[in-house]
Amino acid sequence: MVTYIIRRTLGALLILFVVSLATFLIFFGLPRLAGATPETFAARYVGKTADAQTQQMYAEKLGFYDPLYEQYGRWIGAVFTGTEYDYGTGVEQCEAPCFGYSFRTNQPVWEDLLDRLPVTGSLALGASIIWLLTGVAVGVLSALRRGSFFDRAAMTGALAGVSLPPYFTGLMFLYFFSYKMGVTAPGASYTPFADDPAEWAYNLILPWITLALLNAAAYARFTRAGMLDTMGEDFVRTARAKGLTEGVVVTKHGLRAALTPIITIFGMDVGLLLGGAILTESTFSLKGLGYFAIDAIGKQDFPQIMGVTMFAAFFVVVANLIVDLLYAVVDPRVRLS
Amino acid sequence: MNTVISPRQDPTKTPFLELRDLKIHFPTDDGLVKSVDGLSFSLERGKTLGIVGESGSGKSVSSLGILGIYHRRNATMSGEIWLDGQELVSASQDTVRGLRGKRMAMIFQDPLSAMHPYYTVGAQIIEAYRVHNKVSKKVARKHAIDLLARVGIPQPDKRVDDYPHQFSGGMRQRAMIAMALSCDPELLIADEPTTALDVTVQAQILDLMRDLQREFNSALIIITHDLGVTAELADDVLVMYGGKCIEYGTATEIFENPEHPYTWGLLGSMPRLDQAVTERLLPIKGTPPSLINVPPGCAFHPRCAYAEQTGGLDRTVVPELQLTGTSGHRVRCHLPAHTRQEIWRNEIKPNLEGVA
């Protein structure tokens, strides 16, 4: 078990390393192939209108003449140990984890990321609970009543749910619930949970439902398929032969087995979401990580893009690691082999 | 319809278990599947009935039917099942559920897939015990350890916390038996209990089942395609073909004076140690019928070597299960009794015993 944990953790670190390398090469290696020079890199920082001499000076100062591996080492080193930036007029200390400063706002990227995390985290938390509960419940009922009206209606609804993008459902919800009925928040507002939990939920309920709808549909189909499989298993027949009530047979024996792969996917989906729910955040103008990423890409703010990429990758990898470890807890066959 | 009871049943008494004309049909898109089509038999406590037949003959479905765990939504069930004076087909699902595991229990074929992979063996036995007995977990655990010890699992107090995949095949089947025995059932149904096991382990499990049956005085139904197992354990034998009983009698009668050509085929396809190695087995030609399109008349006629001797009856009339001889032996065959007995004595039996 200990070796399993160690092996998985090392694997996770390796993946993060590869992601960081790839991210770095995309922004600093590929442009060279396309003819970019150290001066054009420097131009990103000082502006395209700066004269050649200024560009060269900054290219020198920012180390763009150094070999790529040194530049990568400096970038990743800053993440772990922090670094100092010499502006000529003074030295700025960038504490670890340092992802540099935005071109545009001069804000440290890391602080921006931390600012945005609660918004995305709140969105992911609420939505994931909603979609997990509804998706699994609908899937189980559908499987138990296969072919019934409920099953057909639910699966048709699920197909619609999977097919409709959040910017459509989200806008529909906003139109009906916020503008027509006025029962929900009109979007573009976020109140931290610590300030006012009720206001927090009121502002997030529509984004939650919008985001949850998409995944609940997928989970319903997934759960249904899993339940159909496990309910046909021999051990479910054994459970019935023991004289257990149907409720216990379904939950303790059928669902318990069907839930394992769902938990796996759930962990990965939540991890993915923590890196930003771009469509939902944009639809409701929530200033989360997804919104941040879109904004950074639109403005070509490289330090921000690289920062948010690594941030998102970190969550995905950590979620995978947790899922792997959880799997060992859930399935005794993994634990012992 | 005449009642069909065990040859050893005292007709003045009510049998412990009796099936009367049990039918389990599944309507499907392709047609009506008659998995069990009019099955009748009886069984006393302390006795063993062997139900024999090929895959798809309806053996397993009938046993699941007795326990009431056929698929309720798409199966129709008719006839009567009497367990100790209580009728089960018309009883409520909850009544049957209350009997399941308590008064009637089942041992399944493949104990690896029949036990839940996520719960320990102990937890699964404890669960079976606590459904029907209001006891603390501690008491149930003690009971589970006792049961594991009884079925011959070494260090039961440690193995009780193991998962099914940590047991060997034979151990798993023992654990499965322990689980079935947890509430001292009066009726025990074993569906191919040794099929998934090594031959050496098979003998141990059969021994164990025989011992336990004596100890618990339960009625035992062994469902198998293995005539060796039947010969080993059964008092009565019932041969099924195409959802129907085609021969029913005491084990001695079935093995010594079988009268149905299908039973002859089963005996001929059983390897025997007392036969010269060069002798070929005599497989039954053809394949078991689809239960959707059961051949008209006698379901066995396409595979029967003696079908022409019935004068065309084989294709038109379903033969009745009729008494033959004096020992309560019943056969479903168009051939006249004396013809069958002659064929058995003169053609089949000498062949089976080799050219001695």
Per-residue pLDDT tens digits for B255-284? 999 999 999 988 888 776 666 665 667 778
**Chain B residues 131-160 with a CB less than 8 Å from chain A:** 131-132
Residue A311: name the closest of A268, A275, A279, A269 by CA. A275
- The pTM of the full predicted model, rounded to 2 decimals, is 0.82
Chain mean position to CA B12: 26
ipTM for the assembly? 0.87
CB contact under 8 A, B108 and A238: yes
CB contact under 8 A, A240 and B69: yes
Å from B113 to nearest chain A CA? 6
How much is the pLDDT for A130? 95
3-state secondary structure B224-238: ECCHHHHHHHCCEEE
CA distance B326 to B133: 46
**Chain B residues 22-51 with a CB less than 8 Å from chain A:** none
Each residue of A116-147: pLDDT tens digit? 999 999 999 999 999 999 999 999 999 999 88
- Residues of chain A scoring pLDDT < 70: 86-88, 336-337
Least CB–CB distance from B108: residue in A234, A331, A332: A234
How much is the pLDDT for B51? 94
Least CB–CB distance from B132: residue in A237, A243, A336: A243
How much is the pLDDT for B356? 42
Residues of A in contact with B117 (CB under 8 A): 235, 257, 331-333
CA distance B180 to B214: 15
Å from B114 to nearest chain A CA? 4
CB contact under 8 A, B127 and A242: yes
Are residues B30 and B205 in contact, defined by beta-carbon separation less than 8 angstroms?
A: no
CB contact under 8 A, A240 and B131: no
How much is the pLDDT for A103? 78
CB contact under 8 A, B118 and A332: yes
How much is the pLDDT for B169? 87
Phi, psi of B321, rounded to the nearest 5 degrees: -80, 105
Smallest CA–CA distance from B100 into chain A, residue: A243
Residues of B in contact with A336 (CB under 8 A): 163, 165-166
A232 at the B interface (CB within 8 A)? no
B108 at the A interface (CB within 8 A)? yes
A287 at the B interface (CB within 8 A)? no
How much is the pLDDT for B131? 93
Residues of B in contact with A242 (CB under 8 A): 100-101, 105, 127-128, 131, 179
A233 at the B interface (CB within 8 A)? yes
Å from A277 to nearest chain B CA? 35
User: For residue B355, is pLDDT > 50?
Assistant: no
Residue A122: name the closest of A273, A252, A10, A333 by CA. A273
Smallest CA–CA distance from A254 into chain B, residue: B116
Tokens matching residue A329: 């807890």
CA distance B87 to B84: 8
Are residues B332 and B245 in contact, defined by beta-carbon separation less than 8 angstroms?
A: yes
A229 at the B interface (CB within 8 A)? no
**Chain B residues 159-218 with a CB less than 8 Å from chain A:** 163, 165-166, 179
Each residue of B66-109: pLDDT tens digit? 998 876 667 889 999 999 999 999 999 899 999 999 999 999 88
Least CB–CB distance from A242: residue in B101, B117, B118: B101
Query: What strands, in cross-sheet order, belong to the sheet with B86-87?
Result: B31-43, B17-28, B76-83, B86-87
Tokens matching residue A60: 């020198």
Give A55-117 as a DSSP string: HHHHHHHTTTTS-HHHHHHHHHHHHHH-EEEE-SS-EEEEPSSP--B-TTT--BHHHHHHHHH
- For residue B287, what pLDDT band results from cuts at 50, 70 and 90? confident
Least CB–CB distance from B98: residue in A241, A243, A332: A243
**Which residues are paired to B244 by β-bridges?**
B241
A328 at the B interface (CB within 8 A)? no
CB contact under 8 A, A243 and B115: no
A334 at the B interface (CB within 8 A)? no
Residues of B in contact with A330 (CB under 8 A): 118
Are residues A274 and A286 in contact, defined by beta-carbon separation less than 8 angstroms?
A: no
CA distance B285 to B268: 11
How much is the pLDDT for B205? 87
**Which residues are paired to B28 by β-bridges?**
B31
CB contact under 8 A, A241 and B67: yes
Alpha-carbon distances, residue A323 vs A328, B92, B268 (angstroms)? 9, 44, 56
A151 at the B interface (CB within 8 A)? no
The lowest-confidence range among B42-51, B54-63, B170-179, B239-248 is B54-63
Least CB–CB distance from A243: residue in B64, B102, B113: B102
CA distance B220 to B186: 8
Q: Please compute the mean of the pLDDT values over residues B317-334 and round it to a whole number.
A: 87
How many beta-carbon contacts under 8 Å exist across A and B? 72
CA distance B301 to B283: 16
Å from A235 to nearest chain B CA? 4
Smallest CA–CA distance from A146 into chain B, residue: B73
Each residue of B194-246: pLDDT tens digit? 887 788 888 888 888 898 898 889 999 999 888 888 888 899 999 999 999 99
CB contact under 8 A, A235 and B114: yes
CA distance B35 to B24: 6
Residues of B in contact with A332 (CB under 8 A): 117-118, 120, 163, 165
Smallest CA–CA distance from B183 into chain A, residue: A242
Å from B330 to nearest chain A CA? 31
How much is the pLDDT for B52? 93
Task: Provide the percentage of residues in chain B whose pLDDT is more than 90.
Answer: 43
CB contact under 8 A, A333 and B165: yes
